[in-house]
Chains A and B, each alone.
Chain A
Amino acid sequence: MKPRKARINWRSQLMGMLLAGPYLLGLLVFLLLPLAMSLYYSFCSYNMLQPPLWVGWMNYRHLLHDHVFWRSLVNTLIYAAISLPFTLSLSVLLAVLLNTPLKSQAIYRTIIFLPCLVPLVATALIWQWLFNSDVGLIDYALRGPLHLVGGALAWLARLFGALPSTVVTLQNLQPPVWLGEPRWAMAALILMSFWGIGQTVVIFLAGLQDIPKDLYEAAEMDGIGAAGRFFHVTLPMLSPVIFFNLIMGIIGSWQIFDVPYVMTNGGPGRSTTFYTMYLFDNAFTNLRMGPASAMAWIQLFIILFFTAISFMTAKKWVHYA
């Protein structure tokens, strides 16, 4: 009996691997081999034209002293740290609003979802035009309110005996040159990230619809108000979905490329140079594959690090029903 059983196993083993074959082959050629190559290149000086030359830890050491590298790392962290909490909160809020029983919900849902269908290059162009100084729509919309606020502040400043120059500055309060000033360029990119949350909203919406109705009924019977129900029923029940979106957001923010590349090309200065942009520049503009590969491996470890942290803290706040 024994050899026969072994033969059957061997047969299904072969068949199973055969059907999984495309992936196994792809895994080898498009994942494992590139990972190994990039690890090797990260210890080499290599420009794609001459064969790679082993230089040890030099690429990593140089990156440690490369201020553009640090700038791109910090820019990416700042973007993620500000944009992720806000986009996640807004997504939950919108999902809750979209989950209320109204007749026109289908239209609202579609409208909020539409922006994430737009190719990011087109998104960047649309917003570059909206953020245009002088003739941009946002600039125009801000002028009126800023004039009012500025006037009021100038009046107050004069009342408290501020310097005349301060009063004049306040009276002439202008909208920022969004894409021309380092801080405002980053602010513009973060503001834009609110436009593309449709996918996250739909995921939350599905999560909301999975929450059993009797939980809300029980809470209502206990005399818990709408706010209480949101914080004690909705949020805990939604926490696994929030966790999922958080992880996706962390991984995603290390890949940001298209929008800043088209919209600001990393500028002004290096204020919107994101991690992936600098990696791309190193690799395909400067043909410095060594540092680019070192950056790739550092990126892998950073993603791993943040994901691990999320998983470790998850026990405290993610509630699996």
Chain B
Amino acid sequence: MKLRHRLLVHFCLLLAAVAYLGPFLWMISTSLKKESQAVQMPPQWIPHPLQLHNYVRVFNSPAFDMSLYARNTLIIALLVTLGSVLSSSLVAYSLAKMQWRGRNVIFGIVLASMMIPFPVLMVPLYRIFREFGWIGTNLPLWVPAFFGAPFFIFLLRQFYLTIPKELSEAAIMDGCTHFGIWWRIMLPLTRPALAVVGLFSFMAAWNNFLGPLVYLTHQSTFTLPLALQFYQSRSGGTTYNLLMAASVIVITPILILFFLAQKTFVRGIATTGLK
């Protein structure tokens, strides 16, 4: 590539990087300011003095028990991850590797149901979960994950199809059951794909807002996104320094997870769009 072109590309990307990173930096900057500093014009990018105390205030705020909400969210996200990985891969194995009548119909339903968004079902689901006595608990948020998620079933089925048939046939000859093949051969073999499923379901559960908004009724069961919104509506939306500090706290775990699993992430997104 010519130097002129290279410089042009660099310039465009630098511009984009500033635009995409800017809001993050502004959030962090605001979170370290006093209220009077936050509304000061012209704006200060590097606060002086640094108001680290905001984070202490958010953590100790009576309306916002951060550690409790973090624990609530983590429990739900971990259960959702476990549920989607186990059930989606088991179902995907059955659809990809076992011979039974109707499996193609079921796969068609899997594909079709990917198009049905949650809002369409939320009224009857609320009714069903109320019948179970689950409203106000975190059960509606993670139990369904143990019954397979269409998108992940689809993803893993495509993945299992690429694994040679001889492998499972040999195992059957040796007297292995299908459940055994799935547990002992398929799960270890497809670890990268499972990591993608796990990561995506963890993220989706961690960031979920509408679900908790519908099902959770007591403040002590709130998840982080719900608590953040609650905190905002409580504070009247004026104390942006504290709101930004709370946002930083909510975002940080996800960013850490991303940097730990960056490769899995990118590979996962790449495959979801192309298969």
Q: Which of A118, A293, A307 contacts B115 (CB 8 A)?
A: A307
Q: How far is the CA of A13 from the CA of B272 in the complex (A)?
A: 30
What residue in chain A is nearest B102 (Cβ atoms)? Answer: A17
Asked if A75 CB lies within 8 Å of chain B CBs, one says no
Let me know if A251 and B274 touch, CB within 8 A. Answer: no
Asked if B125 CB lies within 8 Å of chain A CBs, one says yes
A30 in contact with B144 given A108-B13, A122-B250, A262-B232 (CB within 8 Å): yes
What residue in chain B is nearest A25 (Cβ atoms)? Answer: B147
- Closest Cβ of chain B: how far from A135's Cβ, in Å? 4
* Count of residues in B whose CB is under 8 Å from the partner chain: 92
Contacts of A22 in B (CB 8 A): 87, 90-91, 146-148
Asked if B56 CB lies within 8 Å of chain A CBs, one says no
Let me know if A119 and B232 touch, CB within 8 A. Answer: no
A128 in contact with B237 given A97-B12, A202-B270, A257-B210 (CB within 8 Å): yes
Asked if B43 CB lies within 8 Å of chain A CBs, one says yes
- Closest Cβ of chain B: how far from A1's Cβ, in Å? 18
Asked if A15 CB lies within 8 Å of chain B CBs, one says yes
A135 in contact with B182 given A37-B124, A110-B262, A254-B117 (CB within 8 Å): no
Give the segment of A60-68, A203-211, A217-225 that binds chain B: A203-211
Q: Is the interface of B mostly helix, strand, loop or mixed?
A: helix
Q: Which of A16, A33, A206, A254 has the most CB of B within 10 A?
A: A16
Contacts of A284 in B (CB 8 A): 126, 214
Q: Which of A27, A33, A118, A129 contacts B251 (CB 8 A)?
A: A118
Contacts of A35 in B (CB 8 A): 116, 121, 124
Let me know if A283 and B122 touch, CB within 8 A. Answer: yes
Q: How far is the CA of A199 from the CA of B91 in the complex (A)?
A: 27
Contacts of A16 in B (CB 8 A): 94, 98-100, 103, 178
Asked if A31 CB lies within 8 Å of chain B CBs, one says yes
What residue in chain A is nearest B132 (Cβ atoms)? Answer: A29
Let me know if A19 and B119 touch, CB within 8 A. Answer: no
Asked if B79 CB lies within 8 Å of chain A CBs, one says no
Q: How far is the CA of A292 from the CA of B113 in the complex (A)?
A: 20
B contact set with A: CB distance below 8 Å:
1, 6, 9-10, 12-13, 16-17, 19-21, 23-24, 26-27, 30, 38-43, 87, 90-91, 93-95, 98-103, 106, 109-110, 113, 115-128, 130, 144, 146-148, 153, 177-179, 182, 203, 206-207, 209-210, 214, 224-226, 228-229, 232, 237, 240, 243-244, 247, 250-251, 254-255, 258, 262, 266, 269-274
A contact set with B: CB distance below 8 Å:
9, 12-13, 15-17, 19-20, 22-27, 29-31, 33-35, 37-38, 41, 48, 94, 97-98, 100-102, 104, 107-115, 117-122, 125-130, 132, 134-135, 137, 140, 195, 198-199, 202-207, 210, 241, 244-245, 251, 254-255, 257-258, 261-262, 276, 279-280, 283-284, 289, 292-293, 296-297, 299-300, 303-304, 307
15 contacts between A and B (CB under 8 A): A9-B99, A19-B90, A20-B100, A20-B103, A31-B121, A38-B121, A97-B9, A102-B9, A111-B20, A125-B247, A137-B26, A245-B273, A255-B118, A293-B123, A296-B122
**Extra A-B contacts (10), CB below 8 Å, given A119-B206, A121-B228, A255-B117:** A27-B109, A30-B147, A37-B123, A94-B16, A104-B10, A112-B16, A258-B210, A296-B119, A296-B122, A299-B120
